Amino acid sequence: MRMVDLIEKKRDGYELTKEEIIFIIENYTNKIIPDYQMSSLLMAIYFKGMTTEESSALTEAMLNSGDVIDLSVVHGIKVDKHSTGGVGDKTTLVLGPLVASCGAKVAKLSGRGLGHTGGTLDKLESIEGLSIDIEIEDFVKQVNEIGIAVAGQTANLTPADKLLYALRDVTATVPSIPLIASSIMSKKLASGSDVIVLDVKIGEGAFMKTIEDARKLSKVMVGIGNSFGKKVVAFITDMSQPLGYAVGNKLEVLEAINTLKGDGPEDLTELCNEIGAYMVYAGGIVSTLEEAKKLVDEKVTSGAALDKQLEFIKAQGGILGDLDDFIHVKEIIEVKAEADGYISDIDALTIGVAAMKLGAGRETKEDEIDPDVGIVLNKKVGDKVSKGDTLAILYNNKDDIESIIKEVIGAFIITNEVVKKKSIIFEIITE
């Protein structure tokens, strides 16, 4: 087999066979196929797409390029959730303990954030003492004992994806549905859960900009998961504005805790309750979705979901202490509205980048995160404002942040017309 022939085949719109895809991934991972040929193939895939069979074969080849976590020693059905990334997305911090308190098993491998979207690990590590470096035996033991563990990806999972993702990043081939689908699903399948719930975000701050593309991506991912015998469902959700109010590591931990107390933002609460119910139902804890919704509700009201969160934090070495004394910054700055009206848009990307510039995220992998800083919105899309009202609060430790303040003000669009609030969930794709 010659790589040049396979590039030509895809360039001309023909379907690659499973053997050909295995040949490509094995030889690229082993550094036999050079980057220039792989780049050319990626661009051909970007333009010509892939069939479901090709996408599944690509996923399988990437999955087999590294270790696969064996969760068979965890008792019960393992549930996992993946978000395509967003600003203020702290759903894992809420959903993990919520569904574990309902009896589902959550064995979650998470990543760090890069750029304007924060990573679950950075948020968890903002809690004093909390460690995400857990050996696989301890990870499994903790899941069996308390129903939940969250760890960093230390194992050699999907090395082909790491290489390919870096190449896609510099060859303008990231936004290709089969490439995104196989990248996400290979990692999810390598993590070993039985049920996978995908949260596919749409909006300026997200990979998918339209509902049509989000639907296509969801269907491909659900199809791939099903071909591996996994239960997969995709929620298509709004990321046109940040999720909840808080953006920044400790700020998001606090918001997650409030949500588990039943006192969270409306959009985050709705999203976590709906996805949580689905995880509990698909995880076989109850036999209908209605019962799952009731159970999720009960666990929040009774305080069991919050207790599970505290148990989980303690099990991983975290010390929460007095929450009123959790965040320490040099200054707190209120950003005010410059006009009367209704908020029609809060640009998630701008808020995410502004929070990153304050130090809540990383521009490059080497950057250090400041866990205390960030932005808390005071208004959301649809809210009425008067000139001088606080739009957002900046938690800051830096010296000159005039330009960041301007960016945050610019992220809020205020109009004269009444703006209807959008639902957070647009569609649920099950097949």
User: Rule CB under 6 A: which residues touch ligand URA?
Assistant: 84, 165, 174, 179-180, 183-184, 207
Please give the span between the terminal C-alpha atoms of the chain, in angstroms, as a whole number.
35
Q: How many residues are present in the chain?
A: 431
Distance in Å, CB of 175 to ligand URA, minimum: 8
- Taking the least distance from each CB to ligand URA, the nearer of 146 and 157 is 157
Is 75 a known active-site residue?
A: no
Shortest-Cβ-distance residue relative to ligand URA:
183
Distance in Å, CB of 82 to ligand URA, minimum: 8
- Taking the least distance from each CB to ligand URA, the nearer of 173 and 269 is 173
* Catalytic member of 81, 168, 308, 362: 168
* Catalytic member of 10, 81, 187, 362: 187
Yes or no: say if 258 and 278 are a contact pair by the CB < 8 Å rule.
Answer: no
Bridge partners (DSSP) listed for residue 345: 413
Distance in Å, CB of 306 to ligand URA, minimum: 30
Distance in Å, CB of 424 to ligand URA, minimum: 20
Distance in Å, CB of 112 to ligand URA, minimum: 13
Is 287 a known active-site residue?
A: no
Yes or no: say if 305 and 260 are a contact pair by the CB < 8 Å rule.
Answer: yes
* Catalytic member of 183, 186, 193, 218: 183
Distance in Å, CB of 191 to ligand URA, minimum: 12
Distance in Å, CB of 245 to ligand URA, minimum: 25
Is 168 a known active-site residue?
A: yes
* Catalytic member of 10, 78, 81, 82: 82
| Nearest Cα residue to 329 out of 251, 402, 392 | 251
Is 82 a known active-site residue?
A: yes
3-class secondary structure per residue, the chain? CCHHHHHHHHHCCCCCCHHHHHHHHHHHHCCCCCHHHHHHHHHHHHHHCCCHHHHHHHHHHHHCCCECCCCCCCCCCEEEEEECCCCCCCHHHHHHHHHHHCCCEEEEEECCCECCECCHHHHHHCCCCCCCCCCHHHHHHHHHHHCEEEEECCCCECHHHHHHHHHHHCCCCCCCHHHHHHHHHHHHHHCCCCEEEEEEEECCCCCECCHHHHHHHHHHHHHHHHHCCCEEEEEEEECCCCCCCEECHHHHHHHHHHHHCCCCCHHHHHHHHHHHHHHHHHCCCCCCHHHHHHHHHHHHHCCHHHHHHHHHHHHCCCCCCCHHHCCCCCEEEEEECCCCEEEEEECHHHHHHHHHHHHHCCCCCCCCCCCCCEEEECCCCCCEECCCCEEEEEEECCCCCHHHHHHHHHHEEEECCCCCCCCCEEEEECC
- Taking the least distance from each CB to ligand URA, the nearer of 202 and 337 is 202
Is 18 a known active-site residue?
A: no
Q: How far is CA 66 from CA 60, 160, 221, 224, in A?
A: 11, 8, 20, 18
Q: Which two tokens stand for residue 228?
A: 């591996």
* Catalytic member of 161, 199, 238, 370: 161
Distance in Å, CB of 168 to ligand URA, minimum: 7
In sequence order, what are the residues at sequence separation of 6 or more whose Cβ sits closer than 8 angstroms to the Cβ of residue 138? none
Measured between alpha carbons, how far is 248 from 395 in angstroms, rounded to an integer?
Answer: 9
- Taking the least distance from each CB to ligand URA, the nearer of 220 and 351 is 220
Distance in Å, CB of 109 to ligand URA, minimum: 12
**Active site members:** 82, 161, 168, 183, 187
